Amino acid sequence: MILFENVGFRYNRGAEVLQSVNLEIPAGSFQFITGASGAGKSSLLRLLYLDEKPTSGRISLFGRDVTTLTRDEIAWFRRRIGVVFQDFRLLDHLTAAENVALPLIVAGAREMAYRDNVTEMLQWVGLGDKMDVRPPELSGGEKQRVAIARAVVASPDIILADEPTGSVDPAMSERIMALFVEMNRLGKTILLASHDVPMIERYKLPITTLRGGTVDDGMGRAA
């Protein structure tokens, strides 16, 4: 499903953020991506969402080299990937429900077909009473939950989440993790970047650790 081969990445002409990253993520797996701030977690997720292209090496998604994709193919691939961005990326002029519905609207679904799914997702993340509220009126934790509902509503093949429990209380954190676990049981591939060590230890899932822009083999060495 996901393969990184000697991947390097830098923004413009700056220093490399990722260096010689080799990583294989099987379809249907659930893994944590962890590491100190600046280790490259968010950059790795941006590459996976096709927000950026690697400056060296090769990334394969769904059996295709992402550097060979056309603009139309990138748009189609993105429909198979749900993303929870750390900065939420909600549209302020749309309601919470309309923000959650965006992936379905882009895919050409009609409102009658997706209305119940959107309602169910917002209720799951505890925002059933905020469906008609716009992002400027929501707290940071509420915006995060809208972003999570948007990421999973279309049942994508891959779900990428950048610190998805960082702005919510422990009870809601557990509820969000239960949603990801259920999506994984349905065969979805989940990659979750997090600093939450107790949560990572509690779930006992595979962990990829980034250190200094590359994958740590667990002994302080680049894998």
Token digits of residue 210? 């980034």
pLDDT per position as a tens digit, 104-161:
998 888 888 889 999 999 999 999 999 999 999 999 999 999 999 999 999 999 999 9
Q: What is the set of domains in the chain, with CATH numbers? A: 1-66+158-223 (3.40.50.300), 91-155 (no CATH)
The pTM of this model reads 0.90
Give the mean pLDDT of the chain: 90
**Residues 191-200: tens digit of each pLDDT:** 999 988 888 8
Q: What is each CA distance from 195 to 11, 67, 182, 207, in whole angstroms?
A: 23, 30, 22, 12
Helix (H) / strand (E) element for 175: namely helix 170-185
The stretch 48-67 carries a mean pLDDT of 93
- Order of all β-strands in the sheet with 207-211: 81-84, 158-162, 189-193, 30-34, 207-211, 214-216
